[in-house]
């Protein structure tokens, strides 16, 4: 073996990791080569130095600190065990559970109007976040949830007692693809799917009260547009806007940008639309 080959295997030789025959070859070389012998000796000296290093003593109280931190996390990490004595109480616990479910069901069926509105708002928020990806599915889902009726604009006027603002949109180049009248907790609410010239869609609602809960925790700003206050909401992948028209509120979902908000508001507010 030459020096280069030996040097490549010197640690394995020193650490006793080589097969006997290979170790014997290296041993023979080292005994006859001063350079490799010096290198092997230095490995031994370095090992001795490293093993003599002062011991690290762990700071007292470390275990106490670890226990403290483990206790903080116990709720999340320690598996919960059912105490053995509780098995005797199992029939009573099952009966209590059934009673609790029954009471819960009864309570839910007597949900107050406020609660019903909050639950509905949370549901609307969750549904609307999916509008950019699946506009038709969102309209169908809202219609199914709120006993919606697919109607013409004339029929909507009759059902609602006023003309929906979307009747004005064709004059600005938009098309109304469908209108559903939804029976929402707040009111009868028209939801119209509108189509831009490029085929993309947005949704317009009219309702009696502002519905900030429809937008959850999404960032929102209040702005003035053409002298009219509007609330713009940044939802995932889309903008939404709400503004007051007469005695009602109009909400548009799936708006492209601020320019489009200004354009929609200008069209809808052009004359006295709401009664």
Partner 1 sequence: MSLEDSLIRLAVTGDREAQRLVYESLKDSIGRLVSRIIDDSDVDDVTQDIFLRVFCSLGEFRFESKFTTWVYRLAVNDALQHLRRKRRRPLVPLENLEMPGRTQQNDIENNEVLHLALSKLDPELRVILHLKEEQDECYATIAEILRIPEGTVGSRLNRARRELKKELLALGWGD
Across the chain, the runs of DSSP E, i.e. the strands, are 149-151, 175-183, 188-195, 201-207, 220-225, 228-235, 238-245, 248-255
By CB under 8 A, tell whether 2 contacts partner 1. no
Taking the complex as a whole, how short is the minimal distance between the CB of residue 63 and partner 1, in angstroms?
6
By CB under 8 A, tell whether 37 contacts partner 1. no
Element (H, E) at 259: helix 258-268
Taking the complex as a whole, how short is the minimal distance between the CB of residue 90 and partner 1, in angstroms?
22
By CB under 8 A, tell whether 49 contacts partner 1. yes
In three-state secondary structure terms, 125 is helix
By CB under 8 A, tell whether 69 contacts partner 1. yes
Say if residues 13 and 23 touch (Cβ distance below 8 Å): yes
Inter-CA distances, 125 with 7, 87, 129, 206, 215, Å: 70, 44, 6, 16, 5
Q: What is the 3-state secondary structure (H, E, C) of 54-65?
A: CCCCCCCCHHHH
Q: Residues 6 or more apart from 236 whose CB is under 8 A from it?
A: 129, 132, 218
By CB under 8 A, tell whether 60 contacts partner 1. no
| Among 34, 55, 114, 217, interactor with partner 1 by CB under 8 A | 55
| Among 52, 171, 222, 247, interactor with partner 1 by CB under 8 A | 52
Q: Which residues, numbered 75-134, are part of the site for partner 1 (CB under 8 A)?
A: 77-79, 81
Separation of CA 56 from chain center: 46
How many binding residues for partner 1 (CB under 8 A)? 37
Taking the complex as a whole, how short is the minimal distance between the CB of residue 5 and partner 1, in angstroms?
12
| Among 8, 35, 100, 116, interactor with partner 1 by CB under 8 A | 8
Residues in contact with partner 1 by the rule CB under 8 A: 7-12, 15, 17, 42-43, 45-47, 49-59, 62-63, 65-67, 69-70, 73-74, 77-79, 81
């Amino acid at each position: 073996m030459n020096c280069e080959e030996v040097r490549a295997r010197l640690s394995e030789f020193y650490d006793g990791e080589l097969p006997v025959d290979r170790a014997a070859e290296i041993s023979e070389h080292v005994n006859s080569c001063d350079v490799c012998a010096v290198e092997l000796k230095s490995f031994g000296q370095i090992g001795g130095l490293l093993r003599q290093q002062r011991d690290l003593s762990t700071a007292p109280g470390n275990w106490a600190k670890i226990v403290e931190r483990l206790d903080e996390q116990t709720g999340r990490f320690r598996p919960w065990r059912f105490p053995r004595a509780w098995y005797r109480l199992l029939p009573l616990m099952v009966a209590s559970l059934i009673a609790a479910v029954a009471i819960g069901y009864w309570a839910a069926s007597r949900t107050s109007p406020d609660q019903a509105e909050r639950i509905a708002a949370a549901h609307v928020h969750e549904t609307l976040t999916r509008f950019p990806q699946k506009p038709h599915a969102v309209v169908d889902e809202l219609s199914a949830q709120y006993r919606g009726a697919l109607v013409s604009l004339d029929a909507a006027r009759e059902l609602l007692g006023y003309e929906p603002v979307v009747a004005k949109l064709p004059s600005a180049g938009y098309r109304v693809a469908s209108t559903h009248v939804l029976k929402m907790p707040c009111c009868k609410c028209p939801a119209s799917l509108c189509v831009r010239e490029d085929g993309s869609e947005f949704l317009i609602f009219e309702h009696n009260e502002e519905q900030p809960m429809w937008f959850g925790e999404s960032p929102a700003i209040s702005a003035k547009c053409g002298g009219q206050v509007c609330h713009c909401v940044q939802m995932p992948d889309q903008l939404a806007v709400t503004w007051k028209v007469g005695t009602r509120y109009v909400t548009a979902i799936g708006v492209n940008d601020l320019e489009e908000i200004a354009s929609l508001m200008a069209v809808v507010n052009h004359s006295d639309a709401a009664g």
